[in-house]
Amino acid sequence: MKLITTLIFALGTLLSLSENPAPVKVNITESSVTWHASKVTGSHFGKVPISSANLDYADGKITGGTFEMDMKNLTVEDITDAGSNQKLTGHLKSDDFFSVEKFGKSTLKIKSVKSTGGNNHEITGDLTIKGITKPVTFPATVIASNGTITTTAEIKFDRTHYDIKYRSGSYFEDLADKLIYDEVKLDVKLVATP
């Protein structure tokens, strides 16, 4: 009887552990967010530092989490001329784009994770930029190896949904080669240890 009671208790403990995901801290120095934006005449890319992040992890799977991006310290990586780089960086931080003095942080909160086979998943979350929150769904790969969880994802969003309308063809006509496309892509890499 004592053995049966012990087994039931152990099973109950295991079930409760699997149902309650444990938050794991993300190593922000090993993690990254790279932005990509395009216009008629070319494209640009850069980095947005991650200021904080955590993932909910249970049974070898990510079940939730959140990460915060430091918009005040976003960078442009493809322009080598210092003056041109500073000009574009300043413009991206201005009210034409991300209004970083008013909205210094952007966040993504994971709401659901669905396996699509192997290490591949479909993640749905709430993306908040300039104080505006919209749902996003995107593909992600989650690999657990040698005690480290590495999640990579490609998030695409329409900037006009976040009140970023500068030179958008959806709002302005006759922009010709001054048009900037609405879609922005974020390549995200999060590295965490349970």
Q: How far apart are CA 152 and CA 101, in angstroms?
A: 29
Express each pLDDT in 70-98 by its tens digit. 999 999 999 999 999 999 999 999 999 99
Domains of the chain in sequence order? 21-192 (2.40.128.110)
Give pLDDT tens digits for 120-151.
999 999 999 999 999 999 999 999 888 899 99
User: 21-77, pLDDT tens digit by residue?
Assistant: 677 889 999 999 999 999 999 999 999 999 999 999 887 788 999 999 999 999 999
The confidence score (pLDDT) of residue 119 equals 93
Instruction: For 133-190, give the DSSP string.
Output: EEEEEEEEEEEEETTEEEEEEEEEEEGGGGT--TT-TTT-S--GGG-EEEEEEEEEEE
| Rg of the Cα atoms in the chain | 21
Please tell me the predicted confidence (pLDDT) of residue 58: 81
Determine the Cα–Cα distance for residues 137 and 182; give it in Å rounded to an integer. Answer: 17
